[in-house]
Structure 1
Amino acid sequence: MESVSVIVTGRVQGVGYRWFVHDLASSRDVSGWVRNRRDGAVEAELHGDRAQIDGILRAMRTGPPHAHVDGLEVREIPAGTTDGFEIRPAR
Structure 2
Amino acid sequence: MLRYYMRVFGRVQGVGFRYFVQYTASLLNLTGWVRNLDDDSVDMEVQGQEEVLNAFINKIRKGNGFSSVEDFSIHKLPLVDEEKNFKIKY
Aligned counterparts of 2:24 and 2:67: Cα–Cα separation in 1: 16
Which residue pairs with 1:86 in the alignment? Answer: 87
**Displaced runs of 4 or more, over 3 A:** none
TM-score between both structures, scaled by the size of structure 2: 0.95
AA of the residue aligned to 1:15: V
Query: Gaps spanning 5+ residues in structure 1: where?
Result: none
AA of the residue aligned to 1:85: F
AA of the residue aligned to 2:23: D
Q: How many residues align?
A: 89
TM-score between both structures, scaled by the size of structure 1: 0.94
Which residue pairs with 2:22 in the alignment? Answer: 22
Q: How does 1:58-69 map to 2 (within 5 A)?
A: 58-69=58-69
Q: Percent identity?
A: 33
Which residue pairs with 2:50 in the alignment? Answer: 50
Aligned counterparts of 1:64 and 1:33: Cα–Cα separation in 2: 17
Aligned counterparts of 2:31 and 2:43: Cα–Cα separation in 1: 14
